[in-house]
Structure 1
Amino acid sequence: MPFTAAEIARHVGGEVIGDGSVVLHRFAPADRAEPGDLTFAENEVFLARAEQGRASAILVDRPVTSAKTLIRVRNARIAFAKVLPLFFPEPQFAPGIHPTAVVDPSARVDSTAHIGPGCVIGAGAVIGPRCVLWAQVFVGENCVLGEEVWLFPHVTLYPRTQVGSRVRIHAGSVIGSDGFGYVQDGPVHLKVPQVGNVIIGDDVEIGANVTVDRGALGPTVIGRGTKIDNLVQVAHNVSIGERCLIVAQTGIAGSTRLGNYVVLAGQVGLAGHLKIGDRVSVAAKSGVMHDIPDNQKWFGIPAQPDRQAKRQIVALQQLPDLLRRVAELEKQLAALQSGRVTAESGPSAGTGATPGGPQGS
């Protein structure tokens, strides 16, 4: 659906500089844009590309002049996120239950929900208004889904999982599987039954192939507004606070608690039973073995406060030069010691006659 530049400016709370009546048909990157396209420029590099490209209008967040129509906003990237859904609207799903879906008679499915082909909904489950279950989703017994939950293909919710409103869980993710709990009993590992569940707050998004284990007794909790990337493992009884960002291939061991607005970059590993404070950031590939107070940045293996870790990295970078200098000093010291030994063991400096020799006349 096309929009004028003026209509888009109103949608994002910006202002038009140039022709507000220009019609825009789609959003495109600057180097592939065609006439009738809108693009965006969040820095000088993108702006130069947009100026040289064929786009009819540019989203900008700074004072610039251009022969093209500009839509000036406070933040170009935020406006970009708000504009994209205009040109790329999400698919619409008609309410109803597909004939191939298996729904237990005791389950409650709202009349506005969409249940796709091959879905299975267990006894006592509740599917809220405007939920969308894509093909082959499994919802176990007594699960509860709030409003506008989207479960993509092959998502599995184990029994008693609770999902808030406006939650998205992407393909292949498994929510509520057994926590990894065993105790040594002689020569065998005895399984500890995992009888808790998983609670997911409102506005959470969980990427593809994520695993969230249910608690051993109480719940595993993912707080409101948290976003979890693909291939993340959340162990049993973990509690993740509100509006956290958990990036791909991160692993969080059991009973660790994260505060609000925590950022864990890619491939971070957190040991179990830790307490991670509010607004903590952990850099990629870090291994966290200790509690972290509020508002700190840590990285490394084992992870440490960033300033301390940076000093150690600088010291390591200087190590080869330091080793060369030490080796040179050792050579000089060895040469000095060799000269001293030679001086102490050489012939006597005296020239007197040998005792008992012949007498002159």
Structure 2
Amino acid sequence: MTDRFSFTLHATDGKARTGTIHTPRGEIRTPAFMPVGTAATVKAMLPESVRATGADILLGNTYHLMLRPTAERIARLGGLHRFMNWDRPILTDSGGFQVMSLAALRKLTEEGVRFSSHIDGSKHMLSPERSMEIQKLLGSDIVMCFDECPALPATEEVVAQSMRLSMRWAQRSRDAFGDRPGHALFGIQQGGVTEDLRGESAEALKAIGFDGYAVGGLAVGEGQETMFSVLDYAPGMLPADKPRYLMGVGKPDDIVGAVQRGIDMMDCVLPSRSGRTGQAWTRRGQVNIKNARHMDDPRPLDEACTCPACRSYSRAYLHHVFRAGEIIASMLLTWHNLHYYHELMEGLRGAIRAGTLDAFVADFHAQRAAGDIAPL
């Protein structure tokens, strides 16, 4: 264990990297996928079950926790780790994205964002300083700068103004974060899909100095091809000796493409949300357990998978409990999806270490192209 936050790079294959993020609460193997525990829980999962799928770190949501049960209450109860029974690292986002996406009534100024709660309409002010205060009360290990993220498509002028505001907020976040040994602050690169603006943002962040750097403002509706075109250059603008985090990504093929382009960390609600809506991610692509073809199928979702859903339950059973609205359907499908995601991350790490990433990626795409097993 370490009392500091640091990053060690172990191997590279092309632009792809594998390494270890060291924190006082444990090590994070990279490339890392972070399950999203929005309201201090990964929905339908026990924390020890999430750990069993291979997760080294979870993501908590500043906006949602600030509104309910409040950061102050969590602090009084011993901090987020104790509150949610997760003793390993936690990253908290800054709250900026949810303010943009959830709050219908908001006023954006240089100071920050005034908004109405989507829960009860109560009024709140979120600024870089308040975001840092909330994340300190939560006790998260990795804290994100407060930023503004415009939805794409947007004009270059709008994106440039937004990015420069985010860079001013990044400096204020750094000042407010202060000196917190063992805790890390990540800056967030913005600039939409414009290379010059991404470069300007990266230079501003490097001048401030952070423990890690995120590529923000992607996976907001621009499409995979456009996202990859930005990732072809954006990670390389950020310091090579610090972790690089792509926020809000994604589907398995998004993750593989991002890792190929030099990304170390990702998060997404997809594996858990898909599990609750009857979608299973497998090495052969997506399976919709709602479909009638699974009704009499005694086979597992994926015969090569070792998760509890695949070891002990048939497609017929998963179809039945989902159709019947039973809670176990969400539990088993979410467990399977998180297991698959973390198995994919382990495969990527191993391939980078072995220098065989191209072959791994080719096999990944070939298995998905073959499609699901034929119906009985």
Question: What TM-score range do you get, normalising by the shorter chain?
Answer: under 0.3
Instruction: Kindly indicate which of the two structures has a greater share of residues assigned to helix.
Output: 2
Of the two, which has the highest radius of gyration? 1
* TM-score, length of structure 2 as denominator length: 0.20
